[in-house]
Every structure is written in structure tokens, then in C-alpha cells.
Amino acid sequence: MTRKMNILIPDSWLRKYLITKADPQKIGRCLSLCGASVERVNKINNDWIYDIEITSNRVDMASVMGIAREAAAILPQFGITAKFNPLSTPKITKPASLLKIKINDPQKTCQRILAVILDNIKLGPSPKIITQRLEAVGIRSLNNVVDVTNYIMTEIGHPAHIFDYDRIVSKTLILRKAKANEEIISLENKKYLLPGGDIIIDDGTGKIIDLPGIIGTANSIVTPQTKRVLLFIETADAVQIRKSSMTLGIRTVAATYNEKGVNPELAKTALLRGIQLLQENSHAKIASQLIDIYPNPYKLKTITITLQLIKQYLGIPLQLIKVINILQSLDFGIININKQKSIIKVSVPSWRAKDITIPQDLIEEIARIYGYHNLPSILPSGELPQRSTNQTYQLESLTKNSLADWGYTEVYTYSMQSEIQLKKSLLNPDDHLKISNPLTEDWQYMQRSIIPSLMEVISKNQSYQSSIKIFELAKVYLKKINSLPEERLTLIIGQTGKNQFFSLKGIMESLLVKLGINNYHLVATINNNLFQTGKAANIICNNKIIGIIGKINKQITANFNIKSAVTILEFDFDKLSAISSTIKNYSPISSFPPIIEDLSFIMKPKTYYDDLIQLIKSSSSIVKNIELIDSYQNTLTLRITYQHQNKNLSSKEVTAIREKIIKEVELKNWATVKEKAMAN
């Protein structure tokens, strides 16, 4: 997933680097069509503020200069004159006195490190224009020294940091990776224990004086007594910055820039601009040599592209001069042109080195500047391709929609469970896959049953409604010795309340009919401590267990503080998919009337309803339907429908079948017939 960030840019600041007569609304519309998405343009305190969404692969645009550069390339495509006005920075003159600072990066934590010492600092408020611009983008103005770092970050797009030079007693900065449980106190006086591997700055004595790229520390920040500062800019490892920032929960603006991989070539521009602002606004004087540690400078990257390839992707021919103009407007260098073969060799500017790597990336740039709205809309010709059907997906959709129609709410729970959840569910944690580096204690084990998670959902929601009816379709993970775990797609349905077994059994039967499964039966479960003894049954089809239905063990409901009984229906959805079919078989309705009668059975102990139903169904092909119409203590009254497809049934034929049923039931000692109702 692409992480996005929003930036605010005042129009007055933008026009320092963008020369155009276009109004802010026009600039916003053009940018949105061909570049960064301008969400809105608001007028605040006599200035227009652009609210712009930047995708993480275009951190080069996350600045005033970056947007100005984009606008200068895009506006001319709409017939609007526009020009990028580059930043002008003064040359560094040799200082009269040289203060010392030693900087080392032995573990190669940064791509580039720049630093310079400035003396004669006069601390005070920032000029009004700087204060107004910072506040317009949501940054609080502090003073004329600290504000410089936020100003150049917003203007140029590279974070910076300022240390109080005199508070660095050792005059040494060592960048290294933190050890586990090292401690820092941030500039906000918050204490953090580092997990280890974080990039930190050590003063050479073991004392941490900065968490670079993320936040400064209290022991080196600028104070009202500051006279000399160290302006410090580093381009740190983006992955480690992201990891440290998220782990510690420190989400500064600097971190959001650095984690996206800012351009190390931009670091020197940021340093020079910082020096310029400090000289102008705090009377600073350069008091050291400029330190620049850059072991692997940017090497020019080139890409070759042809007009034929552009036409192949865009569907239209573009003239060579048009392509060259677009590329040059985006600061791509034209190294070589072969006009006969329409081949262009292009150099990539450093700020686009990460996201422009292949010819197709260049074509995308050409397309967006040319304007997607200018590309032709051509419907495809020929035969439409046939989409292959996905049986499992269709069944998932049918199942979810059916359960929703029947009043059940779908829930989504984590695939990870805690040891407490497992023990509350009477499950052995040793039977589960344990995660080697869990984020929290709540996510230690991969689920092999969704029941613990479902019980947690019921427990948390029981106070909001008297009856809960929920379901989830998710994977469980079965532990395998010396091999990868087995993943099984599982459907689980939960319902609270007394006497819900038959209600949920009806849902089970209706769902199986929807999935085209008819040849199933129930068999009582044994030795399953998730369910109450004698109140659970395995669902059998083709001699395989495809699911289970039953009341949850009272001990489990008590462990989760659930006040009512919970009935669960669980299916191995992979097995269900293998035997199901959404193709319906047509059977003509018989034109001959049925004969319907009621039989009451006094059930013997340990006789199961499903066994009785299966026996009656198998007694004759003319038994079309069996319906339970009454149940009292150990007596069941069944309504049996007899019907022949091709003729009228006689009472004699029905009597013969009835007597066969009674005889077989009594022979198996399952039940005795209490009474017989006359045929309807």
C-alpha cells in the first residue's frame, strides 16, 4: 500500500520559485490533472493555501520548490506561461576562525552527512514573513534559529537539525546503531527506551545527543543562552527511520520525510540555505570548514526510450520534439538523440532516481504531463475475453450474502490469538504455531480455531444487544512437524440465547441446500471439550467430517464472562467447496396430490434425531419431505409427505411404507410409535 502525506503550501511562498500569472485556482486544477492532487485551495489571512496530497514515491514534490518545479512543467501544457525560478545561495567564504567538530559514521548509517559551525548567534524572534509562512503550513514559530530547520524542510524538502555547539562538550559526533534499552530524553522531555538498531548520535562518551531523522534530545537543543550552533544535515537509512519511528511512536514531520528516502544531493542545498537564513536573521558567522561526508555520491543514471515504445503504450504517435520538451521540462537531461531511429537517451535527475528506473517509468511521466485527458478513449475491438470463474470465490460470496440475508453480521478478527484467549477456550497453546517476534502479547499464536476470537467478539458486544448473530470466513493454521503449516479456510457462525441449536441447525440446512449439498447427516461428537457433552454433532458428507454444530462448553462461556449460552456452527470451507455446486438440478413438480400424515415417536435414550430422519428417508423413494412439527420431552411429532411422480397413491401403499418405518424403528429399539394421524 502506498503511504501518502499531505502538505500545505502558501501561494505567496510558491511564487518565490514559480513565475506565472495563473491564479491559485488554475494552478490547483492543472496540478491535479497532471501531477500532485490538490485537495483544496483555501484563502487564509490574505493568502491562498494549497492542500496537496503527495504519494510516498514522490517525496521530491513534498516541498515548495518541488511543487514549483512540477507546476513549471505542467502549466505550459495548458497554454499558461510558467517558469521555475531556482534557489540562489551564497558561496561559502573562508571563516576568520576555525572551531573544531569531529564527525564519524563507522557503521555507514547515513548516505550523506553535512555540518557547519556558526558563531555570533543573536537569538530572538523570526522575521514576520518566516513566522507567517510557518504558521500557514501548521508549524509553530519558536525563534530565529530553530525556525530555520522547519523553514528549509518545507521550502526545500530535506529535514535539518541544529545543535547548541557549546553543549557538545566532547566536540565529537559518532553516528551508530543503538543497543537494546539505551535511553533518550527527547526535546519534549519524554523518556524513550530504544529497542536497538536505531540510528543515534553519540558524543563519544556513550551519551546519546540525538535521534537523527526523527527527533532531537533535551541535552543538545538550542537554549536562550546559545551563542554558537552546529547546523547538521544527514540523509539516513529510510527503512531504519521508519522502523524506529513506528516502534517508538514518534511521528514527527521530519520522520515522515526521512522514511520516504529524501534525496542526498538535496542535502547541500538545504545546508547552504540554512547558512543563508541564519546569517540574515540571527547575525550568524561561519566558524568552521564545511564538513561533507558522502562516500557514495550519486552516479548519473541513463535510460533509453523510443517513439515506437511510447506509441505502443499510449496508443498515439507523439512528435520527437514534443517528447523532448516534456522530458526537459521535468529536468531530464537529453544525452543523445538518434533522429533516424527515433531513439532518445535520457539522464535522470537525482531527485527522481528512485522512482524512474525503466523506460515505462519515463512513458508514464510523458503521459501525465501530456495529459491523460488528452489521450484517446478507444473501445477494444474483437471478441471479449472470457473471465475464468473462481468456484471458491463464488461460494464465499453466496455464503456471505445468504448469511447476511438471514440476519447474521459478518465480523473480521485477527488471525493471531493470545495465550490467555487459548486457555480461556480450553485449548493447548503448544498445539498452535507460535510467532517468533509478536508485536504484542495479544498476537502470539496463529489461530487453529476461530472460536476464541468469536467468543471475544461476543463478550465485548453482549452489553449492547440481547441476541448476537455473527459469522466469519477466515483461514486457520494447522501446525505440521518439519513442514509449513496447513492453511484451511473456515466458516464459523455464532449465536447467543437459549435453545438456539435447532435455529442454527435450520441455518445449516438452508446453507447446504444453497450450496447444492443434500447427502449429509449428523453424528454425535465425543471428546471435544469446546462443546457441551451430548450437545454437539459432526456434520458428515461422503464419509468425511465437513463441520460441527453444538453448544459451547459452559466453562468457556464463563471464562469469557458471557452471560448466555452460545451455539456454534463451523465448516471446513475448503471441504465444503470441493463437494458443493451452484448448478441447480430441475425436477418437475408432480401433478399428483401428496398424502401427508403425522407420526409421533417416543424416543429411547441415546437415540439421535438425525438417525431417525435418515431411516425414514431411506424407507421409500416416495417419502418426499419430513418436518418436525412438535417436540415435548422425549416425544417428537414428524409430518411426513408421500408423493409419487407418475400416479396417485393409495392408502394401502402409504400404510405399507408407514408400517415398514415403524417396524425398523422399533427393531433398532430407537423409539415406539405413540399415535398415528389419519392421512390428510
Distance of alpha carbon 530 from alpha carbon 557, whole angstroms: 10
Q: Show the domain range for 68.
A: 4-84
Burial of 498 (0-12, 13-18, 19+ CB in 10 A): exposed
517 CB-near residues (< 8 Å, 6+ apart): 541, 576, 579, 580
pLDDT at 439: 77
Q: What's the grid cell of residue 263?
A: 534525496
Residue after which a domain boundary falls, among 551, 579, 607: 579
Residues 411 and 471 sit within 8 Å (Cβ to Cβ): yes
Last residue of one domain, picked from the residues 240, 270, 293: 293
Calculate mean pLDDT across residues 125-133: 96
Q: Examine residue 146 and state whether it is found in any structural domain, yes or no.
A: yes
Residue whose C-alpha is closest to residue 176's, from 194, 153, 150, 149: 194
The answer to whether the beta carbons of residues 415 and 444 sit under 8 Å apart is no
Whether residue 450 is found in the same domain as residue 572? yes
Please state the rounded mean pLDDT for residues 284-297. Answer: 94
Over 90: is that where the pLDDT of 341 sits?
no
CATH code for position 346: 3.30.56.10
Residue of 195, 173, 166, 170 lying closest to 182 (CA atoms): 195
Q: Mark whether 278 and 322 lie in a shared domain.
A: no
* Beta strand extents in 62-207 (DSSP E only): 82-84, 102-104, 110-119, 161-164, 172-177, 183-185, 191-193, 199-202
What's the pLDDT score for residue 584? 73
Percentage of the chain surpassing pLDDT 70?
Answer: 98
Q: What three-state secondary structure class fits 450?
A: coil
Kindly state the helix (H) or strand (E) to which residue 362 belongs, with its residue range.
helix 359-370
Can you name the residues that pair with 476 across neighbouring β-strands? 488
Contact 72, 82 (CB under 8 A): yes
Regarding whether 264 and 162 lie in a shared domain, the answer is yes
Domain identity same for 281 and 426: no
Residue 330 lies in a domain: yes
Would strands 595-603 and 635-642 be described as parallel, antiparallel, or unpaired?
Answer: antiparallel
Whether 646 has a pLDDT exceeding 60, the answer reads yes
Quickly count: other Cβ atoms within 10 Å of residue 467's Cβ. Answer: 11
**How does strand 18-20 pair with strand 37-44?**
unpaired
Q: Are residues 321 and 462 in the same domain?
A: no
The closest alpha carbon to 16, from 119, 154, 148, 205, belongs to 154
- Tell how far CA 432 is from the center of its chain: 25
| Alpha-carbon gap, residue 427 to 445, rounded angstroms | 12
The answer to whether residues 336 and 407 belong to one domain is no
pLDDT tops 90 at residue 386: no
In sequence order, the 6+-apart residues with CB closer than 8 A to the CB of 321 are none
Mean pLDDT within 348-358: 93
Identify which of 309, 275, 307, 302 has the alpha carbon closest to the alpha carbon of residue 289.
275
* 385: pLDDT strictly greater than 80: no
Query: For residue 63, what is its C-alpha cell?
Result: 516541498
| Averaged pLDDT for residues 202-218 | 94
Give the residue from 293, 318, 349 where a domain finishes: 293
Place of cell 503550513: 137
- For 305-325, the pLDDT digits (tens) are 999 999 999 989 999 999 999
462 and 425 together in one domain: yes
Average pLDDT, the chain: 91
Q: What is the CATH number of the domain that holds 222?
A: 3.50.40.10
Q: Say if residue 380's pLDDT is above 70.
A: no
Helices (H), 107-237: 128-136, 146-156
Task: Give residue-wise pLDDT tens across range 542-578.
Answer: 889 999 999 999 999 999 999 999 999 999 999 999 8
Does 95 reside within a domain? no
Region 513-533: what's the mean pLDDT?
88
pLDDT of residue 315: 87
Confidence at 70, pLDDT banded by 50, 70, 90: very high
Task: Specify if 518 maps to a domain.
Answer: yes
Q: Compute CA distances 299 → 46, 349, 624, 633, whole Å.
A: 44, 10, 81, 86
- Distance from C-alpha of 303 to C-alpha of 309, rounded to nearest angstrom: 13
451 and 545 co-located in one domain: yes
CATH code for the domain in which residue 649 is found:
3.30.70.380
As for how many domains the chain has, the answer is 5
Confidence of residue 679 (pLDDT cuts 50, 70, 90): very low
Within a 10 A sphere around the Cβ of 426, how many other Cβ atoms? 14
Question: Helices (H), strands (E): how many in the chain?
Answer: 19, 33
Residues 519, 513: contact at Cβ < 8 Å? no
pLDDT, tens only, 138-164: 999 999 999 999 999 999 999 999 999
- Measured on CA atoms in the order 178, 179, 185, 188, is the torsion positive or negative? positive
Whether residues 33 and 159 fall in one domain: no
Euclidean distance between CA atoms 197 and 496, whole angstroms: 49
pLDDT tens-digit series, residues 3-33: 578 999 999 999 999 999 999 999 999 999 9
Q: Out of 220-224, 232-236, 373-377, which region has the weakest mean confidence (pLDDT)?
A: 373-377
pLDDT at residue number 254: 94
Relative to beta strand 486-496, strand 469-478 is antiparallel
Residue 97 included in any domain: no
Distance of CA 152 to the CA centre of its chain: 32
Region 603-621: what's the mean pLDDT?
A: 87
Closest listed residue to residue 505, CA positions, set 608, 401, 583, 413: 608
Of 484, 408, 451, nearest to 560 by C-alpha is: 451
Confidence tier at 633 by pLDDT (50, 70, 90): confident
pLDDT band of residue 388 (cuts 50, 70, 90) is low
Looking at the structure, do residues 281 and 306 belong to the same domain, yes or no? no
CA distance 18 to 15: 5
Per the CB < 8 A criterion, the answer to whether 301 and 359 are in contact is no
90 found inside a domain? no
Split at pLDDT 50, 70, 90, the class of 660 is very high
Under a CB-based contact definition with an 8 Å cutoff, are residues 201 and 234 in contact? no
Residue 473 forms part of a structural domain: yes
Beta 172-177 vs 183-185: how paired, if at all?
unpaired
How far apart, in whole angstroms, are the C-alpha atoms of residue 325 and residue 74? 11
User: Residue 35: which of 333, 368, 517 has the closest Cα?
Assistant: 368
Q: Are residues 334 and 256 in the same domain?
A: no
Burial of 355 (0-12, 13-18, 19+ CB in 10 A): middle
- Spatial distance between the Cα atoms of 233 and 567, rounded to a whole number of angstroms: 62
Beta strands in 278-405 (DSSP E): 285-286, 291-293, 301-306, 333-338, 343-348
What is the model's pLDDT at position 2?
42
CA distance 415 to 450: 8
- Mean pLDDT calculated for residue range 391-401: 88
Give one DSSP letter per residue of 192-222, joined into a string: EE--SS-EEEE-SSS-EEEETTTEEBTTTS-
pLDDT score of 513 more than 70:
yes
For residue 1, pLDDT over 50 is answered with no
pLDDT above 80: residue 678 = no
Q: Do 343 and 400 sit in the same domain of this protein?
A: no
**Coil, strand or helix at 307:** helix
Residue 322, phi then psi, degrees to nearest 5: -65, -45
Q: Which helix (H) or strand (E) holds 188?
A: none
- 267: nearest Cα among 116, 386, 94: 116
Residue 179 within a domain? yes
